[in-house]
Structure 1
Amino acid sequence: MKKIFLYSAAAVAMFFASCDDYLETDSPSSFSQDYIFSNEADAAKAVYGIYALFNQDAYTSRLSSNFMGNTDTEMGGVSASPDNNRRDIWSFEATAGNPDVRVVWNNAYNAINRANEAIEGIESSELYKQGNPMMKHLRGEALALRAHWYYYLVNLWGDVPFKTTPTKAGDEFYLPKTDRNEILTHLINDLREAEPDMLWADQLDYGIERVNREFVMGLIARLSMTRGGYAVYPDMSAKRSADYLEYYAIANEYAKKLINLKPHVLTPDFGKVFRNQVEYISPENEDVLFEVAFHPGFGDVAWNNGVRVDGGTHPYGSGSNYVSIPASYYYSFDTLDTRQAVTGSLVYYDKELLEQPVNVASIAPGKWNRLWLQTPPGAATAKGTGVNWPVMRYADVLLLLAESENELNGPTGVAVDALKQVRQRAFKQENWAEKVDAYVSQAAGSKDAFFRAIVDERAWEFGAEGIRKYDLIRWNLYGEKIAETKETLIQMGLDTYNGVGKYSYLPEFLYYKRNADGSITFLNKFRDVDPAAIPVVDSPNKGDNPDGYFRHTWLRGNINTTTMEPADYIQRNWRGYRDDTGVSPVRYILPIPSETVIGSLGVLTNDGYGF
């Protein structure tokens, strides 16, 4: 499918510069707001200009990956000490001077202002007033894009300035903070009003690469669950509002509405969902409801989030995995769950494109791989793969339905069926009786057990997709899951090294053979083996066992076998959260950039949260 941003970024910039100039009293621009929004084509360009800000580094390698944080399903390497970079965001140690904090804050408000310009222009246009269907859709599109950016802001900064009109000459530039719940309520009401007038993805020229009606229904559900969930407040208490059930009910209503009005089919092959993105295929009416369309030369999917590929003379360029997944998460999957092999890659590709085993701290997200690009981008390429990024999937809506239904009414048949649909794709049909029916039946034994099953299912379904952080925040489980992850990783290292304990059945070392095509086959990904029974290449002497196995240090890498202390990555990655009981809230809130605070002349401050 064609990309939405086929016109140049420069053209978009010129278009919006003209719009901005018009707002000034001495504007020489020949483009007036009346002209821009007098026809569908130009009004659409104004809305497309909002999308263009997804193609900035603030989104491509910040919000869509680096800002996802260190959770129980994703982690990024952290330096030995704070370095005022993205790593400090991962470890909950960011300061107001962090450049990544600044660039995302500024980009978010730039996108919001573009959305405000488009909304005002459309609502003022004669076409919209006359009930033009496309203008109504475009308005909804702009409202949803604005809501999407505010969703990030309230999750990452808490209470923030809230503006729903475009900035004009003479406006008060710095506004005080608005309560996050007030913002979310406003956004939800906006979208509930606009949703009936929007078009389905299969009615739009760019399908799921544009905001569509089914995505907006899902976004209403997501925003409502956030509004009904927990948040950390300046005094470092975690709480949710007394009216939270009202918002669970809204989420439940819109999840059901989507499923009843426009049921989608979950793409049968879980891995195909993501391979489609690398191959530039965007099917409608399947799992992905909306994905950010990155212009060729933009987007960092399969560069910093995906399987590592070392640069060489081969034509695929280089990509790393800034995002990794913890071994505790990898081994939480049922071994029959097809999502495990898709979500976590135990290999990377060297400069000769030979598979090599990864380090235990570097299990890569296997959902995206630049080697799947149908046209190799060139040996010197790295960033800018043009691979789309999934913002919401139908599976998310199903699980939001199951969760909200359980909270409101307990594990009813509606909740059970929604969970089953997601698990059925994850397992082969011959395993459904045990892994789907029996599993879900047991989980439905109580409201709490079913909720915990949803917590687990969302982990297994959405690993490396950048939404776990926001789930943990609204559940008030962030601290618990960090403590659990660290404890499990350490215990895995100790048990496999000592040969006793809960995790001693897992591999201390991985043994593998290299195949003629350069791939490798592991002997024991899921179980420890008796090393005395394994012929290892060049052991005990060089030249011994030429047809044997190579040995690779695995879970024993979670500890320093000299000091018996946790490995460095475990001590560093969640460093800013020091409560090993997991009871206290995580300070995930980011400070407002220092330049913004200083420029606000006292209107904005970084008060509370221990700043």
Structure 2
Amino acid sequence: MKSLTSIAFLFLILHSSCENYLETKPINFATPETFYNNEQELTAALMAVYSELGSTNEGTYSRFLSLEAPASNDEILRRGANTEAAADAYNASASYDRFFNCWTALYSGIQRANLLLENINKAQVSLDVKNKIRGEAMFLRAYYHFILVSYWGDVPLKLSSTNSLNQIYIARTPAKRVYEAVIQDMINSYDLVNDITSYNHAGRVSKTAVAGVLARVFLHAAGRLQDASYYQEAKDWALKVIQSGIHSLNPDYKQIFINHSADIYDIKESIWEVEFEQDNNSQRNEGERFGSTIGIRNNDDRTGFMQGNYTATGVLYNLYGIGDLRRDWNIAPFYYPNFDRNNPPVMYPANYRWGRYVAKWRREYQTKDYNKNFGGTNWPLLRYADVLLMFAEAENEINGPTAEAYHAVNMVRRRAHRLPAEQNSTAADLPSGLNKQSFFNWIKDERARELAFEGHRKLDLLRWNLLSTTMQQMVSIISTSAPSASNTALGYSGRTSSLRPYQNFSSRDLFFPIPTQEISLNSLMVQNTGW
């Protein structure tokens, strides 16, 4: 068990394929004095920074950051009794292992990035190679800090590596300073990294990935720091993606998520993904657990085991309008009798709106033999639709609902109705004459419809200062609208179980706790309020 400032050096991995950077093998333990000498070693060190996106301890996007950390809000809840400790049951303590696993994985990525940045200049490689690697490492360092400040608030800002025991004691840095450092690192990385077209896949950080994530960071900073001046920067960086000419919407919404499982890259819609591989033997760090945890429940290992642990809320179901094809892809329209995909699927009753399984990723589209728990579905970190919605939100905050803001949202909505993005539609397009507040309300709901289950909703509600209100409203909604009795065959665990996380929620849950292990090792660390 180690503190975030552990002096143990990283377990480096070598890059073994130009086609997929995750096809890697571990090499020997190394020290800064004996490593970082050539392009191969710099690339290996960079891949070690990337690897924490899909950490083997399931602390990041393999499971925790994709499912548990952002869950239990008005779009998604965990099926079952929720009596065990869990972040999405809002009943875990500061000693909960997944808080610790996430914290340590993110700081491990930061430590690896710092070591690479501090040693990169000694390598005998061209300046161009150094700059591209420097840009990716700098961005990833910033991204890990961004996730930390989003979930924990004030966190230690680490812009240099830990190289002595005297450096294990570090105080929390005010969130504003963390955001400033994140923004600076990301801006500095923009001119250094490649265009996505040079990779032809979405697993590496590219210029449009940097720009799109920067738009997100600025929107979060505007809300969390209550500083409207950030909206202009959010708009400008979103525009860089839009005006790049590289990206566009996939005309078929469901194909985006089939591609994630089928190892197909569409760099027009998908700008940045966490790459996972089906094979998860002891020498790999690539298998994801979210695919076997969600999905339409199926107990048969041979056809793609899915626990079906997460279900959509009736609130999300009701947000979708007539003709919106996203609903029946994101929210299961059917279930498997006896939880066995060998049986013909049965359609849910039309009025059944609580307890339908999350169906956005379906394991039958994975391309290799099924491993019961681990899969190769990639996790989306940034899509073009998200960029369009971020642009519209920022534009509305600055200038109100302009024609440009309307157009960005309407493009997303038209695709949802399987219409061309440039084709006007009375069925799909936003109503005319909206004011600033009503346009924001449409944006809020459209982000839920479009980005459902992609890990954004809770953090969106937090930056809008709406999470506490939403959780309180869910208690009332479930108490009056959700069925009282459970229906195990259909996936619904009952009103009492569904209510539990919302009743457990309190003001302390606006932030995760600093892990107990970190508090015990770092005498300067102070716990979040209420924990």
**TM-score of the superposed pair, with normalisation by structure 1:** 0.76
Q: What's the secondary structure of 1:365's corresponding residue?
A: coil
Match of 2:292 in 1: 303
1:5 to 8, 19, 22: 22
Match of 1:603 in 2: 524
Confirm or deny: 8 A CA contact 1:478 1:586 kept in the other structure.
no
Q: Give runs of aligned pairs for residues 354-369 of structure 1, distance below 5 A.
A: 354=343, 355-356=345-346, 362-369=355-362
Q: Kindly provide the CA deviation profile for residues 135-164 of structure 1, in whole angstroms up to 9, marking residues without a partner as x.
A: 212111112212221122111111011111
Confirm or deny: 8 A CA contact 2:511 2:528 kept in the other structure.
no
Bigger Cα displacement from structure 2, 113-122 vs 264-273? 113-122
Match of 2:505 in 1: 577
Match of 2:91 in 1: 93
Separation in 2, partners of 1:586, 1:363: 30
User: Structure 2 vs 1, CA of residues 391 and 193 (structure 1 numbering), >3 Å: closer, same or farther?
Assistant: same
Q: Kindly provide the CA deviation profile for residues 490-523 of structure 1, in whole angstroms up to 9, marking residues without a partner as x.
A: 33347xx9xxxxxxxxxx999xxxxxxxxxxxxx
Q: Kindly provide the CA deviation profile for residues 172-220 of structure 1, in whole angstroms up to 9, marking residues without a partner as x.
A: 112100011111111111111220222111112x621111111000111
2:432 to 415, 429, 441: 441
Residue identity over aligned pairs, in percent, reads 25
CA offset at residue 449 of structure 1? 0.7
User: Structure 2 vs 1, CA of residues 219 and 19 (structure 1 numbering), >3 Å: closer, same or farther?
Assistant: farther
Corresponding position: 1:19 with 2:31: yes
2:456 to 454, 467, 475: 467
Confirm or deny: 8 A CA contact 1:70 1:90 kept in the other structure.
yes
CA offset at residue 78 of structure 1? 6.1
Counterpart amino acid of residue 497 in structure 2: Y
Q: What's the secondary structure of 1:362's corresponding residue?
A: coil
**Aligned residues between the structures:** 496
Bigger Cα displacement from structure 2, 458-467 vs 293-302? 293-302
Counterpart amino acid of residue 604 in structure 1: M
Q: What's the secondary structure of 1:392's corresponding residue?
A: strand
Counterpart amino acid of residue 462 in structure 2: I
Confirm or deny: 8 A CA contact 2:335 2:490 kept in the other structure.
no
Q: What's the secondary structure of 1:303's corresponding residue?
A: helix
Separation in 2, partners of 1:367, 1:162: 35
2:383 to 393, 406, 411: 393
User: Structure 2 vs 1, CA of residues 360 and 3 (structure 1 numbering), >3 Å: closer, same or farther?
Assistant: farther
Q: Give runs of aligned pairs for residues 273-288 of structure 1, distance below 5 A.
A: 273-284=256-267, 286-288=268-270
Confirm or deny: 8 A CA contact 1:66 1:323 kept in the other structure.
no
Counterpart amino acid of residue 371 in structure 1: E
CA offset at residue 5 of structure 1? 1.0
Match of 1:536 in 2: none
Q: Give runs of aligned pairs for residues 56-455 of structure 1, distance below 5 A.
A: 56=56, 57-59=58-60, 60-77=62-79, 79=81, 81=83, 83=84, 85=85, 87=86, 89-123=87-121, 125=123, 127=125, 132-204=127-199, 207-230=201-224, 240-241=225-226, 244-284=227-267, 286-295=268-277, 296-297=279-280, 298-311=287-300, 315-349=302-336, 350-351=339-340, 353-354=342-343, 355-356=345-346, 362-377=355-370, 381-429=371-419, 432-437=424-429, 439-442=430-433, 445-455=434-444
CA offset at residue 95 of structure 1? 1.3
Gaps of 5+ in 2: 1-17, 281-286
Confirm or deny: 8 A CA contact 2:215 2:233 kept in the other structure.
yes
Q: Give runs of aligned pairs for residues 21-40 of structure 1, distance below 5 A.
A: 22=33, 31-33=34-36, 35=37, 39-40=38-39
Q: Kindly provide the CA deviation profile for residues 102-122 of structure 1, in whole angstroms up to 9, marking residues without a partner as x.
A: 111111111111111122222
Match of 2:479 in 1: 490
Separation in 2, partners of 1:120, 1:361: 52
Counterpart amino acid of residue 433 in structure 1: S
Confirm or deny: 8 A CA contact 1:92 1:587 kept in the other structure.
yes
User: Structure 2 vs 1, CA of residues 207 and 343 (structure 1 numbering), >3 Å: closer, same or farther?
Assistant: same
Q: Kindly provide the CA deviation profile for residues 352-406 of structure 1, in whole angstroms up to 9, marking residues without a partner as x.
A: 52225679653222111111223332xxx32211111101111111111000011
Confirm or deny: 8 A CA contact 1:490 1:558 kept in the other structure.
no
User: Structure 2 vs 1, CA of residues 5 and 429 (structure 1 numbering), >3 Å: closer, same or farther?
Assistant: closer
User: Structure 2 vs 1, CA of residues 446 and 259 (structure 1 numbering), >3 Å: closer, same or farther?
Assistant: same
Separation in 2, partners of 1:553, 1:167: 51
Confirm or deny: 8 A CA contact 2:114 2:161 kept in the other structure.
yes
Q: CA RMSD in A?
A: 2.7
Counterpart amino acid of residue 144 in structure 1: F
Counterpart amino acid of residue 35 in structure 2: S
Work out which of the two has the higher radius of gyration on C-alpha atoms and give 1 or 2: 1
Separation in 1, partners of 2:80, 2:518: 27
Match of 1:517 in 2: none
Confirm or deny: 8 A CA contact 1:78 1:90 kept in the other structure.
no
Counterpart amino acid of residue 187 in structure 1: V
Match of 1:541 in 2: none
User: Structure 2 vs 1, CA of residues 123 and 423 (structure 1 numbering), >3 Å: closer, same or farther?
Assistant: farther
Confirm or deny: 8 A CA contact 2:172 2:526 kept in the other structure.
no
Separation in 2, partners of 1:360, 1:457: 19
Counterpart amino acid of residue 251 in structure 2: P
Confirm or deny: 8 A CA contact 1:411 1:450 kept in the other structure.
yes
Separation in 2, partners of 1:155, 1:352: 38
Bigger Cα displacement from structure 2, 292-301 vs 360-369? 360-369
Separation in 1, partners of 2:223, 2:520: 32
Q: What's the secondary structure of 2:202's corresponding residue?
A: helix
Confirm or deny: 8 A CA contact 1:198 1:212 kept in the other structure.
yes
Separation in 1, partners of 2:444, 2:19: 36
Q: Kindly provide the CA deviation profile for residues 61-86 of structure 1, in whole angstroms up to 9, marking residues without a partner as x.
A: 111211112111111246464x3x3x
Confirm or deny: 8 A CA contact 1:328 1:489 kept in the other structure.
no
Q: What's the secondary structure of 2:470's corresponding residue?
A: helix
Separation in 1, partners of 2:346, 2:248: 36
Q: What's the secondary structure of 2:51's corresponding residue?
A: helix
Gaps of 5+ in 1: 23-30, 231-239, 498-507, 511-551, 560-566, 579-584
CA offset at residue 263 of structure 1? 4.1
